Amino acid sequence: MVDKVLSSCEHRMHTAVDILKRELASIRAGRASPALVERLQVDYFGTPTPLAQLATVSVPEPRMLLIQPWDKTQVNAIAKAIQKSDLGLNPSTDSNVVRLVLPPLTEERRKELVKQVHKRAEEAKVAIRNCRRDAQDELKKLQKEQHLSEDEVKRAQERLQKLTDAAIAQVDEAAQRKEREVLEV
């Protein structure tokens, strides 16, 4: 029973860390990355659709993204979605591709991006702590129902705290790595 509670909590914590890593990949650093626009929602015949499902995103140069839609009629819709997004980029289009040239980051923009990194890392930590709290509540409930002794609950809580500490360390490491990448000139 304890193992089931702890493994469920551990799975949820790993999910929170994975989500954070995907979100951090979408934050722009000094170089172009397809992750920057993959989850961007494009209005595809009235349905919001992720860009990754509509086009191929490549990096022909370190500061350029090339977006080739499979349906050539969607070039303008993709360009509009990029303009409406919070990326701060201005797309250029021709008949069948969208080009995004990434200008060098200013010091002010780098600081804003670092703040975004910290905000998302804190959100991940909150999610991890919520997992811990839920697992602790479940353990206390099991104790009240006479399924676990006080000692078993205490040992389980210690294991739970170790899982939490490990997950938060992963969040801190990912955030620090992304911060260094953003601040790198």
At residue 5 the predicted structure's pLDDT band, cuts being 50, 70 and 90, is: confident
> Are 44 and 70 in contact, with CB atoms under 8 Å apart?
no
Which of the listed ranges 35-39, 56-60, 148-152, 169-173 does the model predict with the highest average pLDDT? Answer: 169-173
Average pLDDT rounded to a whole number, residues 6-28:
89
Axis crossing angle, helix 2-25 with helix 150-183, rounded to the nearest 10: 10
Q: Which stretch of 7-21, 24-38, 154-168 has the lowest confidence by average pLDDT?
A: 24-38
Give the position of tokens 């954070």.
20
How is 26-39 classified by DSSP, letter by letter? TS--SS--GGGTTT
Strands 98-101 and 92-93: antiparallel
Give the mean model confidence (pLDDT) for residues 179-184.
84
pLDDT at 185 over 70: no
The per-residue pLDDT for 184 is 79
Q: What is the mean pLDDT of residues 47-63?
A: 88
Q: If we measure between CA atoms, which residue out of 39, 117, 109 comes closest to residue 81? A: 39
Half-sphere exposure of 100 (CA within 13 A, CB side): 26
Nearest Cα residue to 82 out of 57, 112, 105, 108: 57
Tell me how far apart the alpha carbons of residues 47 and 45 are, in angstroms, rounded to a whole number. 6
Higher pLDDT, 46 or 17: 17
Tokens coding 39: 């989850």
Delineate the domains of the chain, giving CATH numbers in brackets: 2-25+106-183 (1.10.132.20), 34-101 (3.30.1360.40)
* Closest by Cα among 57, 51, 36 to 105: 36
Percent share of the chain, pLDDT over 90 = 34
Find out whether 113 and 99 touch, Cβ atoms under 8 Å: no
* pLDDT, the chain, mean: 88
Tell me what pLDDT residue 135 has.
93
Arithmetic mean of pLDDT, 77-98: 85
pLDDT at residue 30, as a whole number? 66
Q: Are 118 and 175 in contact (CB under 8 A)?
A: yes
